[in-house]
Copies of this chain bind each other. A is one copy, B any other.
Amino acid sequence: MPDSPVTLKDVALLAGVHPATASRALNLETRLLVSEETANRVLAAAAELEYHPNAVARSLRTRRSNTVGVLIPDLNNPLFPPMVRGLADRLENHGYVALIGNTDGDDGRGRRVFEQMRARHVDGYVLATARLRDALLDDAAHSGVPVVLMNRIAADDSFPSVSVDNEAGIRLLVDHLVALGHRDIACIAGPQDVSTGLARYRAFRSAMADAGLAVPDSRVAFARSFSIEEGHRCAREILAADSGCTAVAAGNDMLAVGCYQALDEARLSCPADISVVGFNDMPFIDMLRPPLTTIAFSHYQVGAHAADLLLDRLNGHASQPKVIYVLPTLVIRGSTGRSS
C-alpha cells in the first residue's frame, strides 16, 4: 500500500454519509452543524483510513493556502536562522507553513522568488529584505495579501514591522565607549539604503554630538553590504586615512569581524590599541578573539513577533500598521577597553 489516495469520499463511504457531511464533521468550525453521533462515526472512519485532507484541493476551494512566503537576504548570515525559527515555529502552531526564499540582496532573485510565492498563492509575506525605497515592497503591498517586515523596516511606517531599537542600541554602545575614555571613535556604517544601516549611522552621529564629540569624515566608511569583506575593506580605509581613532563602531557584527581582520593585518591589537563594537550579538560572535562587545536582542522574538503581526492580519484583525521595537541590551565583552 505505497500510495494513499484516501479521499473524503472514501471516509464518507465508510461512515455511510454524504461527503459533504463528512467534510462538516471533519472541520472544527462546522462540526456543530452535524449530529454528535454521525460526527463520531465520520471521525472514526477517518482515523481508520488514516485520512489526511488534501491541502491542495482545500486551498483551491477556500482560496487560502495556509502558506506564508518569507524572503531572507541570506540564510548563511547567522542572524537569520533564529528569526526564521521564531517565525516558523509560531506560524506552524497556527497551521501555516513557511516558504523560505533567499535573495542574496539581488533584486532579480528577490522578484523571482516573490513571483514563485505569489503563484503558489501564499496567504501573506514576511520580508526581511526591505530597503528603504523598494519596488518589491510596493508590489507586495498591492498583491492583495498581508505583508509584514522583519528586522529591516521601510521608510514610512506603512507596514507592520518588527525591528530592534537601533537608536537605543547605538546610544548604549557610544555611551559605553565614551565611559571608557574614548573620544576618537570611527564608524563603519552599513548600507544606507536599508533601515538598519541608516538608523544606526544617524544614531551614531547624534549620540556622538550629544557627547560633544566630532566625527570627521575620515573616520567614517560606508559598507556596501553587511559582510565581512566590506567590514574588512572599510576598516582598512579608516586605518589608512586616519591616525587618531581609538575605537571603531561597526554597523553590525559581520562588519566588526571584517574589522578584526584588518586590525590583525595592521598588527594592531584589540582592545589594547583599538576597541571594536558590533551590533546584533549574532550566534558564535562571543567565541571570537576577542569576544565582541555588541548589542544583543532576541532574534527569535523578532521572528515570533513578525509571525504574530501577520497572523493578526490573516485573521482579519486589521489594526493600524505598527512597528514593534524589541529591546536592545549592551553586552560588554573583551573587545572594548579603556582608551589608550
Q: Which residues of A come within 8 Å of B, CB atoms?
A: 1-4, 52-57, 59-60, 65, 67, 75-76, 78, 81-82, 84-85, 88-89, 92, 97-102, 113, 115-121, 142-144, 257, 260, 283-284, 287-290
Contact = CB atoms under 8 A, between A and B. Distances in A.
Contact of A56 (B60, B88, B97): B60
Contacts of A60: 54, 56-57, 60
A116 B102 contact: no
Given A100-B98, A113-B92, A144-B2, A119 B78 contact: no
A235 to B, nearest CB: 15
12 contacts: A52-B118, A54-B121, A55-B121, A56-B120, A88-B101, A97-B101, A97-B117, A99-B99, A100-B100, A284-B284, A284-B287, A289-B289
Given A3-B144, A52-B118, A75-B75, 19 more contacts: A2-B144, A52-B115, A54-B60, A55-B119, A56-B120, A56-B121, A75-B81, A75-B85, A76-B82, A78-B78, A89-B102, A92-B116, A98-B100, A100-B100, A257-B287, A284-B284, A287-B287, A288-B289, A289-B289
B78 A283 contact: yes
Contacts of A284: 78, 284, 287
A115 B89 CA distance: 15
Q: Lowest 5 CB-CB distances: which A-B pairs, in order?
A: A289-B289, A3-B144, A75-B81, A55-B119, A2-B144
A89 B113 CA distance: 11
Contacts of A289: 287-290
B142 A2 contact: yes
A190 B81 CA distance: 23
Contacts of A120: 55-56, 67, 97
A101 B100 CA distance: 10
Given A52-B118, A55-B119, A121-B55, A4 B97 contact: no
Contacts of A89: 102
A288 to B, nearest CB: 5
A171 to B, nearest CB: 28
A72 to B, nearest CB: 10
Contact of A102 (B54, B88, B287): B88
